[in-house]
Amino acid sequence: MLNKIFFNQKVLSVAIQSLLGVSLFSSMAHAEDTQPEKLATITVTASQTEHDQKSAPATISVITQEDLAKRPVYDLADALQQSAGIHINTSSAYGRKEIKIRGLDSDYTLILVNGRRVNSRDALTSNYSNDFDLSSIPLAAVDRIEVVRGPMSSIYGADALGGVVNIILKKPSEQLETAFNYSYELPTEGDDGAIHKASAYIGGSLIENKLLANLVLEGVDQQAWRSEQSIYKNTDAAEKRKGFSILSNVSWLINDNQTLDVDLTHRSDDRKAVWNNYGLSFPTNIQEMDRTSVGLTYSANWNDINSRLRYYYENVDLMDNSEIITNLYKKTGDIQQTNHTVDAQLSGHIGEQHLVTGGAEFRKTELEHNQNLNGSASVNQTALYLQDEWKLDRLSLTFAGRFDDYDSFGSEFSPRFYSVYQVTDQFNFKGGIGKSFKAPSLSQSDPTYSVLACRGMCQVIGNPDLEPETATSYEFGGVYENDQFYASLMYFDNDIKNMIVSDGWRAGYRPKVMTYTNVHSASVKGVELESQYDVNDALGVKFNYTYSDAKNKDTDKELDYSPRHTGNMALDWRVNDALGLNLNYQYIGNQMLYVPAISKSQKSDDYHILGLSGQYQFNPSFTMQAGIKNLTNTKRDDVARSIDYILMGRTAFFGFNFKY
């Protein structure tokens, strides 16, 4: 134990000395001051057409490669942690995470890769959250991440009630590019928790001006972390995780107007944790997921009409050895989910004022589950959508609508209207209204799908009569941007109906068979501020704050796991051409947490997280990073710790990047 404490202190000391040493070394470095001209950030997620942040018909944030390089990020949750309107919620007693946008549940956040949904939702019950999806793409392959806050079912269909996270991958270019990254981090208290992460990238031209390709490899090894904060010290506060990814994209430039892209991805993701089963037992949960996807995209431009036809295949193979359930079923879970998607889209101008985008989609999901299903289940979905972006001098109007038809529950229409008015060259008013929906999952809607509950003494089966959850959402505000300053202030209001809930045991009510029903309604409204100010070429400040009032309209009580106040601040200081320092602060306000031991929700106090990092560029090819996460060693309060929601303590990290 003493050796462990000494080693942790030594790692922390090395990290601090690295930052100080880099700072002293940089004071002797001299280089010509060259600052690149600031370019507008172009996004495509808000309308599937190109806009900058100020003119986009939605509230949108962009996380760039430069942003990701400033701190170690394990997966998508880490990358988004300090973004406006985002709350990364703990979803399990052993460190899994989920993304909540504007106070809405994580099931209302749609995750896309290049505009295509990533989905293992039917293979995993909601108790496991979407953590596997958040780790599905190697961050070494990411060009940028676009976050749309607000409903987007008018383009993307189900599940986009809260918003959309779209991961845009790097495209291969004619020029040869290679890169290698490595990072290491270690908590300074508790037992183990070390994380090693390494990635390699190569891309370039196979046939000049004709065939381009890239290849990304990424591996992550995280040891289980145990903390004195846990109620039972023999349980894991963070699970053991091993992951390996391989991703490749090949682009055939058929001619100046036509391109054929093929992309392949494979991810193995293995998890193991010992957790607390209400203090009655301490089961070991082991899950091993292999995810394979293949995408084929044909893009063409015909006299300024852009067209796209693509097919996307995703297979999720899950071995689920969650000890309690496995013992009850007397067999290990073998789950297969297969997703097939075909879509087509046309986009072009009609006259000078109208940019029209339309498309169609067919999606088929198949599920095999040897524990919960008697055989297999599938659901088919078809959709048509149309969008008109109408430009009237300084006023831009966006009208959109999508019709979805599911063979499991019927059809749903999702309209949307948005307007952007250019008051000056720097300032825009914007706002809109939209309807969105969340389709019942296979586990919720298929009557042959049965989940053991109540410690094996009851079961919850699907309900074929469920209606989709729907939301009507409003937002309005303003966006200001000049060469040095960006600010966005938005008001939002979401009215959600037909929320799907599972029945549960309570005093005097203990049936053997239960199901899901459409019961609750909820209201989530608030204000969101996002800003960035470049004081000069060397110093920049980012700030965001979200106030969210999330209530169950039936009971007039706060929704669980939804803090009213969240905020982030980051200070970026370019000391000179070689050295950059970053200080970041995060505030999470108090929130209601459900405590199973007392069968009710309790308020958990707010908390603050401070981080410090630095990067030193030795030459154009080699950069080193070092720093400390949770600098003040903040701990969550007794309510959070009573359900084993443990915040990882002070952690030192070190890494380097090599590119050519």
The per-residue DSSP string of 82-115 comes to: TSTTEEEEE-STTS-EEEEETT--GGGEEEEETT
- DSSP characters for 51-68? EETTTSSSEEEEEEHHHH
Residue given tokens 């918003």 in the structure block:
163
What span, in angstroms and rounded, lies between the C-alpha atoms of 256 and 2? 66
pLDDT at 39: 52
Backbone dihedral angles phi then psi of residue 454, each to the nearest 5 degrees: 55, 40
Q: What is the dihedral of CA 277, 279, 283, 289, to 10 degrees?
A: 40
> Burial, 554: exposed, middle or buried (Cβ in 10 Å; 0-12, 13-18, 19+)?
exposed
Q: What is the pLDDT of residue 98?
A: 86
Give dist(CA 570, CA 531) in Å, integer.
Answer: 11
Cβ atoms of 646 and 227 within 8 Å: the answer is yes
Cα 232 to Cα 278: distance, rounded to the nearest angstrom: 10
What residues in the chain have per-residue pLDDT under 50?
Answer: 1-37
- Residue 559: which residues within 8 A CB-CB, separation 6 or more? 103, 522, 524, 550, 551, 552, 592
Query: Which tens digits make up the pLDDT trace of 171-190?
Result: 998 999 999 999 999 999 99
Q: How far is CA 659 from CA 109, 184, 216, 246, 584, in A?
A: 34, 18, 13, 19, 26
Beta strands at 579-588 and 600-604: parallel, antiparallel or unpaired: unpaired
Query: Per the structure block, which two tokens stand in for 330?
Result: 């007397």
Please check whether residue 156 is in contact with residue 114, taking contact to mean a CB–CB distance below 8 angstroms: no
**pLDDT value for 29:** 37
Give, in degrees to the nearest 5, the angle at Cα 67 between 64 and 68.
Answer: 90
Rounded Cα gap, residues 488 and 597, in angstroms = 42
What's the pLDDT score for residue 15?
38
pLDDT tens string 82-128: 889 898 888 777 888 888 898 888 888 899 999 898 888 788 765 55
Q: What is the dihedral of CA 234, 237, 240, 242, to 10 degrees?
A: 180
pLDDT score, position 23: 37
Note whether 539 and 520 are within 8 A (CB): no
Which pLDDT score, from 0 to 100, does residue 17 have?
42
